């Protein structure tokens, strides 16, 4: 079993999507982190991410600077790499 503190080093961290505070640990937050990982892997464009989550490009740029989000995306990318092996 994985250690949730490793996958989410900032428990309680949130992002604002469509004006609503979304915990990264929630189902929507987890999906957003997964899509953020796909975005970094160039499988999901910035435009598509913004359309899906109702973000402006400025809002997306702000979220991308969020340390908790960046760390969660990095952990998701690492998980995806190891799962593919």
Q: What is the pLDDT of residue 6?
A: 45
Q: Looking at the predicted structure, is the pLDDT value of residue 29 above 60? A: yes
* pTM, 2 dp: 0.85
Q: What is the pLDDT of residue 3?
A: 44
Query: How high does pLDDT run on average in the chain?
Result: 88
Strand-pair category, 14-17 with 20-23 = antiparallel
Q: Looking at the predicted structure, is the pLDDT value of residue 4 above 60? A: no
CA distance 83 to 22: 26
Q: What is the pLDDT of residue 55?
A: 95
Q: Looking at the predicted structure, is the pLDDT value of residue 71 above 80? A: yes
CA trace torsion 53, 57, 66, 49 (10° rounding)? 30
């Amino acid at each position: 079993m994985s250690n949730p503190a490793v996958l989410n080093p900032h428990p309680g961290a949130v992002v604002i999507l469509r004006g609503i505070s979304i915990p990264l640990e929630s189902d929507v937050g987890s999906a957003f982190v997964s899509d953020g990982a796909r975005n970094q892997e160039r499988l999901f464009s910035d435009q598509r991410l913004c359309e899906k989550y109702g973000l402006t490009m400025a809002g997306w740029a702000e979220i991308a600077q969020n340390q908790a989000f960046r760390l969660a995306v990095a952990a998701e990318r690492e998980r995806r790499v190891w799962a593919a092996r």
